[in-house]
Structure 1
C-alpha cells in the first residue's frame, strides 16, 4: 500500500486515474470494482449508494450506480465493460463503508468482463500506476484528509 498525498493506494489494483475508480481481477476471472481513497476523500461522508442491478451489461465508462454525499451527487463510472454479476448490498445499507474501507468491505460491483485484456491496457497498475496517480494528485492539488 502506497501513501500518496495522504491517500492510500494499493499497488495491486488497476486504476482509472481520471475517474478515481479501481478494478481488481479475481481468481475466477471476475473483476471487483470500487472507488479509490482519493474519490471517497473528495466526496466526503457518503450517505447513499445506489448500484446497478445484477445482470446489467455496462460499457466501460458508463455508470455502475450513483452515490451521494453531503457535498456531491454523481455517477460511478465503471473501469471495465461487462455484466454485473454481483452488487455489494452491504454498502446500500451501510454507505460509510465506502469511506471507511474503499478497497475492502466498501467494494461496489463484481463484473464478468467482456474484454479484460483490452480494458486492462487502459488502466494504470503497479508502481508505474502509483507514480501516474501521484502526478495527477499533484497536478490537481488533491490531498487526502487523515
Structure 2
C-alpha cells in the first residue's frame, strides 16, 4: 500500500502544480485583455530586490512571447491572448488526465486496503500431524 500512497502523493503534487499554472494563465489572460485599452499604464518598476520606482508602460500592444526552447516572437496582445488560450486548453487537458489518474490510484489503494482487511480477518493456520516414521518410509 505504500507504493499506492507514493503514486497518489505524486499525482496530488502534479495536480497542485498544474492548477497553479492554470490560475497564472487565467490571470495573465485578464491582464492581456486590459492592456490595449490605454496607450500607457502607470506602474511601479523594480530596480533591484529592494528598490522600486514609478514608471510608465508604453507600446502596450507589443509583447514578446516565449514560444519554447528560448524562442521568442514579437506579437500583439490579441495574438498573445490566443496563445494563452491554447496553453489554458493544454492545462485543462492535463488536469483532467491527472484527476483520472488520481482516481485510479485511489481505487487501487482502496482495493488493496480491502484485500488486506479481508486477509487479516480470515487467517487460518494450516497444521498437519507429523509422523516421522511414515515420512522416512515415504522417502
TM-score bucket (shorter structure): under 0.3
Which of the two has higher C-alpha Rg?
2
Q: Which has more strand, going by share of residues?
A: 1
Q: TM-score, normalised by structure 1?
A: 0.24
Q: TM-score, normalised by structure 2?
A: 0.25
Q: Which has more helix, going by share of residues?
A: 2
